[in-house]
Amino acid sequence: MTVLHLADEGEAADLAAFLSRLLHYDRGAAVRLQAVGTALAVFGRPPSFEVLAIRAVRLAKPYEDGFHVMLDVTVSAGELLEYIDESAATAVVPGAVTGPPWAGVLPPRGGWRSEAGLPEPDALRAMVSAAVREFRSRTEELPAERRTRAELDRIGREIWSRAVGTTRLPVRAVHAAQSLGFLRPARTADPVGEASLGLYSSGAWLRLRTPYGAIAVRMAGLGALDLSVR
């Protein structure tokens, strides 16, 4: 089995926390792993948010497995979590699984440009809290005969599809970042801190970058079948 040597115990703990949050929303979650050099990218899709979540993990040494200088495999998130040894800062890569459709449609690696209009971190967190309160209030006010899954979904789509500030980013992307631990206040020892929060675009994709991970949204819809496959 392939063993990944992570940069330190903190990287291992952060990866484990990310996988745990994905599994909270989907017990059968899969993740796509791509490792080049000393960087490992872990892609997941929490079904409640219709976004791609990306966690970048630092490796202690460049990934290399014989003649295969790049790792690219889709695996069970649950199995990967079981194989993480935080004290040793290692992760055993489990056997490949048949990837869900989203795993073949990833954001581009390059061509990203900065987008203006993203509110400050505190305003983003407040926006998510207000949206959650609005959803609860509106659904609680529904009479019993109208409290159907279809009506709840309709209200949810209305709220979470709203644009963030003057950007094209939907509120659901910020909600996903908050729920997956990407939007938490930066560590005081982090020299970059929340200054690394930013919004970028490349083609039909938008990417919300935070110090702890990124959320990518394909504005034409991640579920479309006419997308280029990588």
Residue 12 pLDDT more than 60?
A: yes
Assign 1 a pLDDT band (cuts: 50, 70, 90). Answer: confident
Q: Which of 152, 168, 188 finishes a domain?
A: 188
How large is the angle between the packed helices 171-179 and 149-160, nearest 10 degrees? 100
Alpha carbon distance 23, 139 (integer Å): 26
- Count Cβ atoms below 10 Å from residue 157 Cβ, excluding itself: 13
Q: For residue range 65-89, what is the model confidence (pLDDT) as tens digits? A: 644 568 999 999 999 999 999 999 9
Q: What SS3 class is residue 63?
A: coil
Q: Which domain holds residue 127?
A: 113-188
The radius of gyration of the chain from alpha carbons, rounded to an integer in Å, stands at 18
Query: Would the pTM count as exceeding 0.85?
Result: yes
How far separated are the first and last CA of the chain, in Å rounded? 24
What are the CA-CA distances from residue 20 to residues 25, 26, 27, 88 (Å)? 9, 10, 9, 19
Whether 183 and 172 have beta carbons less than 8 Å apart is answered as no
88 and 128 part of one domain: no
The answer to whether residues 178 and 128 belong to one domain is yes
Residue 86 belongs to a domain: yes
Could you tell me the pLDDT band of residue 195, with boundaries at 50, 70 and 90?
Answer: low
Any domain includes 193: no
Inside any domain, residue 25: yes
Same domain, 100 and 151: no
Instruction: Count CB neighbours of 77 within 10 A.
Output: 23
Give yes or no for a contact between 71 and 93, defined as CB atoms under 8 angstroms apart. Answer: yes
What CATH number is attached to the domain comprising 42?
A: 3.10.150
Q: Cβ of 105: how many Cβ atoms within 10 Å?
A: 17
- Asked if residue 209 belongs to a domain, the reply is no
